[in-house]
Chain A
């Protein structure tokens, strides 16, 4: 046999099935591009040298793995689709005298051609786009740019290895399929499975139950730590539920419609409903995948977008002023007015010496503690003596009324035994709150918001109670209390003067500092907003960036699944189209009918995705709280924008792919 025979046969095989292979290769190339870019950034010196760049590269590493795993699963899925369509062809070759070994050799060349083309194209576009991606990343995290294009050897090697491996696996899998089926089976495989779908009640109900459980779990999550642990459980349940419902529940739904004779036996419904039952059975899994991918894209984009848009707010709540410092004292009387005034004077001396003037001073004293909430009593304990993740664990902040009134710009009045309360616990119904040290306060009012938690901001991630009392110095001392003073101001000078100021303050208050014992300071630290900003931007911007890249990959996958769905339905519907015509339906009637089905089936995943997003809302809200973002309207807006953009995109894909469908159907007609 001539040497070039198999490559030629393989090439012809690909070309003949280009309707399927072209988008497949395009998607492979797209995924390789994305993977290359991620690995490129992960090892890019430019990124390493960014502030927060190392954290960012950790995230990129994670993102790279996600893409590699996802690509593997997804390419297997689509490959099986292509193989199913090609089995007939292989069967024919087999009958015409090609042994399975020969088919295997042909397959080998096919996979070689496909992998070379897609890895080559993917790398080229990856290299071209990577610089753009780097600029984009730097722009998103608001850092400075440099402009030299280079190729990352590591990224090339990794992309080739990972995707080469995936292609080898795909090849072996196809080989296995060819090997274990006989020629007759290969020939017939496309027409098997013509059984009409019977709705499986068990799976349908199970799907609904699982989905309801997932939703219930999502809305019953009370705090971010819980959200973090339950999130993945909820995600898995939603995925399982969606698959069950799409595969079985939808068929059941069609069956119920068919039982309603007055509805079913109408020209508009008759053909649609019965064909939909078929479509859902065949394509339920595809639809569920589309739905899950759409949900992922929506969740990722809306939440990371929300973070990027809300990062300045988040920064401001974390850093109320440009310079922020926090003192923690050993004794309760360390925060008496007299001592605090003296401390402030010492700080002022330092700032004056550096020629810095302090504006918009922000200060308050507070007690913070942690404990276990039982009914209306908090049992205060040192942190090591209870489980901080348990649902009864609660943080506690007590502040002075005068500080509260000044910072919030209100004028509340309290008696000694009264308190204002704010809590992020869903419900606190008691009229009083007490502590194990004997203190009890009558709750005069529940507050809607409470902003004096800058230095304990991570506290917002766990359930906590904030109390505003007449005088915190009158609270009975408890060994679990931390007694603190937060002090912040804006400065008119940055650079050297500010650095010197920080170092002088450190000299005075840090471990071994000159004034540490004078004020009985247990701990002291300062936070500079400028430094924080860079870290915030690289964290939030980096997450957003990752979100975009992952979304692009998921969108690629979504489009490809949709495309294959339309094509396979096109081939299936050809014959039915023909029969309906013979029985006396006009072309227009058929087209109208098919159009309405396509539309309905097509938008089911989008509707489900929207539903998932709505129920994911409470969880995402809690997770965003961990990033200091507590802006519900903002999240609603970003979610709506993401949904709208995705929806428009989805419609465009629908238009394009349904054209492919009509082409197949109408070609068969002639």
Chain B
């Protein structure tokens, strides 16, 4: 079943002073199936972040559409947008974005509290997730008391607790050391195996090599994609590296 469909996405920024137009996204088309683990790669300025912002409904496309489970994002009213995002999307950011005023537990609860759930229900939902992510012992701590990797796992828990249709991860390993990165990527893999659809934007070949499918973006278009098929992580890693080299040296498309 297709969960996300992106059709003919185009985004033009115009600078206010000179009226210069910058085309961040030209024509992006792809779709994501239920249960997929997709990585999006591309160089700085390739339009990754713009794409993610549009998928997250923070930004609006100039033309084209994003359909999440049959609903066109542009049809959703501004006033309902926050609730829609809360319900359907989970976010993991590079900088964790945990509130320092909350304990880890309360940070994870935040979207559910906003949705008006009872404490009992929240707690029932939290426990399996916390155990899965290995943060059950840290729930009463404050973000400043735990390591970066632990913070990020808290942020993943916060993204998962609403049972979102799709988790959007923006450079989730960007601020982590290699050990924490590996650990987080392993967890992403497990979460995905239990049925969660994940879309991850990343620079890191290592991170991308854990996904089922890798999309490469260049100059505002999907330039190439690699399916894992039966490849191991190592083979996939090699393929990604080759593709990146090819893109960087300006090789012909496909």
Which residue of A is nearest B142, CB measured? A196
Check B158 against A583 for contact (C-beta < 8 Å). Answer: yes
Check B106 against A584 for contact (C-beta < 8 Å). Answer: no
Flag whether A262 is at the interface (Cβ < 8 A).
Answer: yes
Flag whether A308 is at the interface (Cβ < 8 A).
Answer: no
Annotate A261-298 by CB proximity to B: 1 below 8 A, 0 otherwise: 11001110011001101100000000000000000000
A576 to B143 alpha-carbon distance, docked (Å):
13
A194 to B122 alpha-carbon distance, docked (Å):
27
B119 CB contact (under 8 Å) in A196, A261, A274, A589: A261
Check A586 against B113 for contact (C-beta < 8 Å). Answer: no
Check B113 against A266 for contact (C-beta < 8 Å). Answer: yes
Q: Distance (Å) between the CB of B103 and the closest chain A CB? A: 8
Known: A267-B113, A277-B101. A262 touches B106 (CB 8 A): no
A576 to B111 alpha-carbon distance, docked (Å):
15
Check B100 against A586 for contact (C-beta < 8 Å). Answer: no
Check B97 against A265 for contact (C-beta < 8 Å). Answer: no
Annotate A471-496 by CB proximity to B: 1 below 8 A, 0 otherwise: 00000000000000000000000000
Give the contacts of A560-591 with B (CB-CB under 8 A). 576, 579-580, 582-586, 589
Which residue of A is nearest B85, CB measured? A584
Annotate B116-150 by CB proximity to A: 1 below 8 A, 0 otherwise: 10110010000000000000000000101000000
Q: Distance (Å) between the CB of A86 and the closest chain B CB? A: 23
A267 to B101 alpha-carbon distance, docked (Å):
15
Flag whether B110 is at the interface (Cβ < 8 A).
Answer: yes
A583 to B100 alpha-carbon distance, docked (Å):
14
Check B118 against A585 for contact (C-beta < 8 Å). Answer: no
A274 to B111 alpha-carbon distance, docked (Å):
15
Known: A265-B122, A274-B106, A589-B82. A580 touches B99 (CB 8 A): yes
Q: Distance (Å) between the CB of B134 and the closest chain A CB? A: 22
Which residue of B is nearest A573, CB measured? B101
A611 to B241 alpha-carbon distance, docked (Å):
71
Give the contacts of B72-96 with A (CB-CB under 8 A). 79, 81-83, 85-86, 91, 93
Q: Distance (Å) between the CB of B190 and the closest chain A CB? A: 23
Check A265 against B144 for contact (C-beta < 8 Å). Answer: no
Q: Return chain A residues, CB-CB under 8 Å to B101.
A: 196, 271, 274-275, 277-278, 576
Check B122 against A576 for contact (C-beta < 8 Å). Answer: no
Q: Distance (Å) between the CB of B169 and the closest chain A CB? A: 13
Q: Return chain A residues, CB-CB under 8 Å to B100.
A: 194, 196, 278, 576
Flag whether B248 is at the interface (Cβ < 8 A).
Answer: no
Q: Distance (Å) between the CB of B41 and the closest chain A CB? A: 23
A196 to B111 alpha-carbon distance, docked (Å):
21
Q: Distance (Å) between the CB of B78 and the closest chain A CB? A: 9
Tally of A interface residues using CB under 8 Å? 23
Q: Return chain B residues, CB-CB under 8 Å to A583.
A: 86, 91, 97, 110-111, 158
Q: Distance (Å) between the CB of A204 and the closest chain B CB? A: 20
Flag whether A195 is at the interface (Cβ < 8 A).
Answer: yes
A274 to B103 alpha-carbon distance, docked (Å):
9
Q: Return chain B residues, CB-CB under 8 Å to A580.
A: 99, 110
Q: Return chain B residues, CB-CB under 8 Å to A194.
A: 100, 144
Q: Distance (Å) between the CB of A78 and the closest chain B CB? A: 26
Q: Return chain B residues, CB-CB under 8 Å to A589.
A: 82, 114
Check A270 against B106 for contact (C-beta < 8 Å). Answer: yes
A278 to B144 alpha-carbon distance, docked (Å):
14
B114 CB contact (under 8 Å) in A277, A576, A582, A584: A584
Flag whether B109 is at the interface (Cβ < 8 A).
Answer: yes
Check B82 against A579 for contact (C-beta < 8 Å). Answer: no
Q: Return chain B residues, CB-CB under 8 Å to A195.
A: 142, 144
Q: Return chain A residues, CB-CB under 8 Å to B91.
A: 582-583
Flag whether B102 is at the interface (Cβ < 8 A).
Answer: yes
Q: Return chain A residues, CB-CB under 8 Å to B109.
A: 265, 270
Q: Distance (Å) between the CB of A199 and the closest chain B CB? A: 14
A53 to B99 alpha-carbon distance, docked (Å):
61
Q: Distance (Å) between the CB of A276 and the closest chain B CB? A: 9
Q: Distance (Å) between the CB of B252 and the closest chain A CB? A: 39
Q: Return chain A residues, CB-CB under 8 Å to B83.
A: 584, 586
Check B82 against A576 for contact (C-beta < 8 Å). Answer: no
Known: A270-B106, A275-B101, A589-B114. A584 touches B86 (CB 8 A): yes
Q: Distance (Å) between the CB of A571 and the closest chain B CB? A: 14
A262 CB contact (under 8 Å) in B79, B82, B119: B119
Which residue of A is nearest B113, CB measured? A270
Can you offer 15 A-B residue contacts whose CB atoms are under 8 A?
A: A194-B100, A195-B144, A196-B142, A196-B144, A267-B116, A270-B109, A271-B101, A274-B102, A278-B100, A579-B98, A580-B110, A582-B97, A583-B91, A584-B83, A585-B82
Cβ-closest 3 pairs across A and B: A584-B86, A586-B82, A261-B119
- Known A277-B101, A580-B99; further 8 A-B contacts with Cβ < 8 A: A196-B101, A196-B103, A270-B106, A270-B110, A583-B110, A584-B83, A585-B82, A586-B79
